[in-house]
A and B are shown apart, each in its own frame.
Chain A
Amino acid sequence: MVDITFDPGDVAPPAEVEDVELYHPHSWLTKYVFSQDAKVIAIQYSMTAISIGVVALVLSWLMRLQLGFPGRFSFIDGSNYYQYITMHGMIMVVYLLTALFLGGFGNYLIPLMVGARDMAFPYVNMLSYWVYLLAVLVLTASFFVPGGPTGAGWTLYPPQAILAGTPGSDWGIILMLASLMLFIIGFTMGGLNYVVTVLQARTRGMTLMRLPLTVWGIFTATVMALLAFPGLFVACVMMLFDRVLGTSFFMPAIIAGGEHLKYAGGSPILFQHLFWFFGHPEVYIVAVPAFGIVSDLISTHARKNIFGYRMMVWAIVSIGALSFVVWGHHMYVSGMNPQFGFFFAVTTLIIAVPTAIKVYNWVLTLWRGDIHLEVPMLFALAFIITFVIGGVTGLFLGNVSVDVPLSATMFVVAHFHMVMGVAPILVVFGGIYQWYPKVTGRMLDDTLGRIHFWVTFLGTYAIFFPMHYLGLIGVPRRYYELGDAAFIPPSAATLNAFITIAALIVGAAQIAFFFNLIWSLFKGRAAGGNPWRATTLEWQTPETPPGHGNWGKDLPIVYRWAYDYSVPGAKEDFLPQNQPPLAIPAAIGATS
């Protein structure tokens, strides 16, 4: 879609207001620590998220050791096991994936991709990171308090979450709830930034329908987060009151340890509604930025416009909207009014349609492309495969009556890991290999990247694909040991051991990735400004890494959409978004 309706000389430069003095750093502290530069904040978010993510990764190895070799490790008992799964789950979903996609990728890429100098509210943006860090520290503190962290499951269902039969019900649960509340406050601050920047700070010529899909993905996810997180916030406040003040928002009359507790009249299912009203959009908040990023990885490395861009935008937005009316599919067997089952099954399966359209469009982008199998492209291809598996198993679980035997089994665990733990993480890796050269000015090592890719992709597939079949047998989730179960064949134990070994191998392979990140910082090949020859604005900065203010003296002007790859008649196989159109011949009918 080459825009040829105006002469570049006629475009007035974008109007700019001087930044306030507070925005510019004048000391080492304000340049690298308390920075208001979204690029620095992005790196802070990313490093914090990845660090706490590594903690969660280690917790997963501990869980897998118990599941693969039950009882072999004396330091893993039932109590610890539940603490591991809870912290692993909550960290991965909220503190790693959400923080990394929105706070990490969002902060770095949004201003650059829309042609802005920074986010709309840089000071609040900076504060949002420190609130997030505080949330992470509060959560980490729960490992060190009496009773340890909460072991209530990442879903924190009452009444058990605050009762003595669950580990961490003393202090752990209080710190978890406080940490979540802090996280939500921080992400509201950041989220407002991302939304307002995309809506208001786009440079001249950057219309909404010229935005790269990465921006559409992160933008949509942020809007969803602003609407969904309050549900979790109030649920946390009420549960905290139940725990600390003895209220009964979620607590019915209960016998615990032979004693009648003082609670009465509360509704545990109310918590589930509040939690999942947040929780379902949350998993799409993780997926939707991945959708956007993967579209840009594929189009860049296939040298071809993303197929069906308008449909892709529509699909992202409608997936975002629909994600708010499907939450009951997490509660099919909760005992909620069974009539809800009909409604939520329909909405859940409807959401499969725009999602499938996106998959078709990614694949159709490859068709008649000019495919360069760079490392980010490999990760993008692996995303499609693992996301399709994860997505179709969602069709099983979303179909209410089919969910009845499968819920609370390893089928669910396999599903959500594949669709949320494997697929988006592959996009995180792909995105890091893609944009590392922009952030650092150096390329990541290609050979290490390929080794990392193949072990991670095939390894995680080997972990989670067979796991579905354990669920089909009926192996329940959240069991730290199966004991004697006549309906489970002994070969299931072999499968569990195999999955554990695969998990440990995949874990070890990440060493290659971290080594690559650090080694390439010093020894990586110089990247230049646009090593992938990509069209989007972040690759067109005057400096690499981009300086404070991103664009130097003049903001870019955008003349075309984000996907002018292999335009017929153009000399290069890509046209950057800020490249003006060729001069228009005066005579009608003449060719250029």
Chain B
Amino acid sequence: MAIAVAIILALVAVGSVLFHFLSPWWWTPIASNWSRIDDTIIITFWITGFVFTAIVLFMAYCVFRFRHREGNRAAYEPENKKLESWLAIGTALGVAAILAPGLSVWYEYVNVPKGAAEVEVVGQQWLWSFRLPGKAGLLGTSDTKFVSSDNPLGLNPDDRNGRDNLVIIGDDLHLPVGKPVKMLLRSLDVVHDFYVPEFRAKMDLMPGIVTYFWFTPTKIGTFEILCAGFCGVGHPQMRGKVVVEEDKDYQIWLQKQQTFAEMFKLDTTKEKRASVR
């Protein structure tokens, strides 16, 4: 009976390792610069996989080797300071080996490279919208209080810098391949999260503040945006698309986008006429 238990425990360990290597369920091929995250995951799998397998196989061995037999007695060994120290040191080293690359990548993650383009992502229940700086290269200020049916992203109409911003409501975002981009994230209502699995990078949209993350798209293609911050019943349907393309195609797309001034124009005129009276 002990042998059966030992074999099953050993099979759990071996089976888990086999599952890992044979499983068809592995990450989506990366399409951004964050391959160091994938590398750190691999290192972590090796270290933790080794520790898990060693512990379970050792347990299986003990269950069989030290099974109860008539006339047998357990040893009496309350502690073994030396062994415990070595195990603690070994663990600390293993943990450090995992933490070091993780922290190093995080350092890169929080420091946006100079010259990165800026794109604002505006999330709301249950839609992704975007704002890009215009020719002047600056994003105008914004506030939730400015949101109205003709100003759905809440841009400040009095801020000149916002006039030439390109406004994309609920449609695809295009990005030029190979250029780092800082995503500025803003929510009009609740917590959301801008997540494209192929880019690996993500960050929550936190209403009341502007959050950010950066990445460099490295592959041409169309990628799905998923909301990764629970935002109510429409959460799974809050989808969008990021199209990564050559710069020349990107420029063509840019030309076609509407500016804030164009979108708001009719109603500004109405207001001017009203205030004159």
Binary interface encoding of chain A residues 289-308 relative to chain B, with 1 for a CB under 8 A from any of its CBs, else 0: 00000000000001111011
Q: Which residues of A contact B41 (CB under 8 A)?
A: 396, 402
Give the interface segment out of B128-136, B225-233, B246-254, B269-277: B225-233
| B198 contacts the other chain (CB 8 A) | yes
Q: Does the CB pair B147–A491 fall under 8 Å?
A: no
Consensus secondary structure, chain B interface: mixed
| CB within 8 Å of A: which B114-143 residues | 124-125, 143
Closest-by-CB residue of A relative to B91 is: A356
In the complex, what distance in Å separates the CA atom of A159 from the CA atom of B124?
A: 12
Shortest CB distance A465–B (Å): 6
Chain B residues contacting A480 (CB-CB under 8 Å) are: 236
Contact check, B52 vs A389: say whether CB atoms are below 8 A apart. Answer: yes
Q: Contact partner of A352 among B2, B91, B144, B193, CB < 8 A? A: B91
Known: A165-B232, A370-B72. A474 touches B99 (CB 8 A): no
Q: A268, B59: Cβ atoms under 8 Å?
A: no
* Contact (A400, B102) CB under 8 Å given A353-B92, A368-B75, A472-B26: yes
Please measure, in the bound complex, the distance between the C-alpha atom of A37 and the C-alpha atom of B149, giving whole angstroms: 65
Interface contact B73-A370, CB-CB below 8 Å: yes
Say whether B68 contacts A399, CB under 8 Å.
no
| B34 cross-chain contacts in A, Cβ below 8 A | 404-405
A111 interfacial contact with B, CB 8 Å: no
Q: Is the CB of A252 within 8 A of B74?
A: no
Q: Which residues of A lie under 8 Å from residue B2 when comparing CB positions?
A: 371, 373
Query: What chain B residues lie within 8 Å of A409 (beta carbons)?
Result: 228
Quick one: given A369-B62, A489-B24, are A267 and B102 in contact (CB under 8 Å)? no
B25 adjacent to A469 (CB under 8 Å): yes
Interface size in chain A (residues, C-beta < 8 A): 112
The chain B residue sitting closest to A561, CB to CB, is: B78
- Please give the distance in Å from B81's CB to the nearest CB on chain A: 9
When C-beta atoms are compared, the residue in chain A nearest to B40 turns out to be: A402
Residues in A neighbouring B80, C-beta threshold 8 A: 307-308, 364
Task: Please give, as numbers and ranges, the residues of chain A lying within 8 Å of B143 by CB-CB distance.
Answer: 253
Point out the residue from A371, A465, A487 that lies within 8 Å of B67, measured CB to CB.
A371
Q: Known: A308-B80, A485-B224. Contact between A334 and B91, CB under 8 A?
A: no
Stretch binding the partner chain, chosen from B158-166, B207-215, B256-264: B207-215
A473 B59 Cβ-Cβ under 8 A: no
Say yes or no: B68 contacts A566, CB within 8 Å.
Answer: no
In the complex, chain A residues whose CB is within 8 Å of the CB of B201: 404-405
Q: Interface digits, A174-208 against B, CB 8 Å rule (1 contact, 0 not)?
A: 00000000000000000000000000000000000
In the bound assembly, the distance between CA atoms of A273 and B63 in angstroms comes to 44
B105/A159 in contact, CB under 8 A: no
With A165-B232, A469-B26 as given contacts, are A345 and B103 in contact (CB-CB < 8 Å)?
Answer: yes
A151 to B233, CA, bound (A): 9
Cross-chain contact A363 with B58 (CB below 8 angstroms): yes
Q: Which of B24, B48, B185, B223 contacts A335 (CB 8 A)?
A: B185
Name the A residues within 8 Å of B195 (CB-CB).
408, 474, 476
Do A352 and B95 touch across chains, with their CB atoms under 8 A apart?
yes
State the 4 A-B residue pairs at the shortest beta-carbon distance, nearest first: A474-B197, A165-B232, A252-B208, A335-B211
Extra pairs beyond A260-B145, A303-B74, A381-B59 (9, CB < 8 Å): A159-B189, A159-B191, A266-B208, A335-B209, A364-B83, A368-B74, A472-B27, A474-B197, A565-B76
